């Protein structure tokens, strides 16, 4: 079922960057009761949101971005490959939904940044000399701890 643009996923896309996107189908939400202050409202209304993003089953993100996202998610990543974010900062469902989605998108944007490759460097001549001088000085201190040669020998 393709429309005029030729993209069946046009309406269900959520942009991560200008080139990458995730699909709304990869997200699921559960509404739970929030903790903390709020009086009777907090005990009656489920305003907190638990956003689940199935990273493992996602088809739109490249594998390197997925692996970096998994590392960044840390304990928020389940054994089944889902990232779970809980948002309960705000008093309304809509603001908590937006907050959770923004936090997920921020995590995925950070995962798109490739780490700079480390360039191996050699120690400078001055640092080598300082290291050897420090070793000699330490050796002299230890040498002085030896048995004393008294006049009684």
- What does the pLDDT profile of the chain (153 residues) look like in tens digits? 444 455 555 667 777 777 887 777 777 777 877 776 666 666 667 778 888 888 887 888 888 888 888 888 888 888 888 888 888 788 777 888 888 888 888 888 888 888 889 899 999 999 999 999 999 999 999 988 877 666 655
Q: What is the pLDDT of residue 38?
A: 63
Work out the burial of residue 84: count CB atoms within 10 Å of its CB; fewer than 13 is exposed, 13-18 middle, 19 or more buried.
middle
Ramachandran area for residue 141 (φ above 0: left; ψ -120 to 50: alpha; else beta) = alpha
Sign of the dihedral through C-alpha 139, 140, 143, 145 = negative
Tokens for 8? 């069946």
Q: Strands 27-32, 21-23: parallel, antiparallel or unpaired by DSSP?
A: unpaired
Counted residue by residue, the chain has a size of 153
What's the first-to-final CA gap in the chain, in angstroms? 104
Tokens for 17? 């960057």
Question: For the CA atoms of 16, 22, 28, 30, what is the dihedral angle to 10 degrees?
Answer: 0
> What does the alpha-carbon distance between residue 141 and residue 146 come to, in Å, rounded to a whole number?
10
Residue with tokens 């000399």: 129
């Amino acid at each position: 079922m393709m429309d005029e643009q030729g993209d069946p996923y046009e309406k269900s896309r959520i942009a991560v960057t200008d080139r990458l996107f995730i699909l709304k189908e990869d997200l699921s939400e559960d509404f739970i009761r929030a903790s903390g202050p709020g009086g009777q409202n907090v005990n009656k209304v489920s305003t907190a949101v638990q956003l689940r993003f199935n990273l493992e089953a996602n088809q739109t993100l490249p594998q390197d971005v997925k692996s970096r996202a998994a590392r960044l998610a840390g304990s928020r990543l389940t054994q089944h490959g889902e990232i779970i974010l809980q948002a309960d900062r705000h008093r309304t469902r809509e603001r908590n939904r937006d907050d959770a989605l923004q936090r997920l998108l921020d995590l995925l944007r950070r995962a798109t940044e490739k780490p700079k490759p480390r360039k191996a460097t050699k120690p400078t001549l001055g640092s080598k000399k300082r290291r050897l001088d420090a070793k000699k000085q330490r050796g002299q201190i230890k040498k002085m701890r030896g048995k004393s040669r008294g006049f009684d020998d």
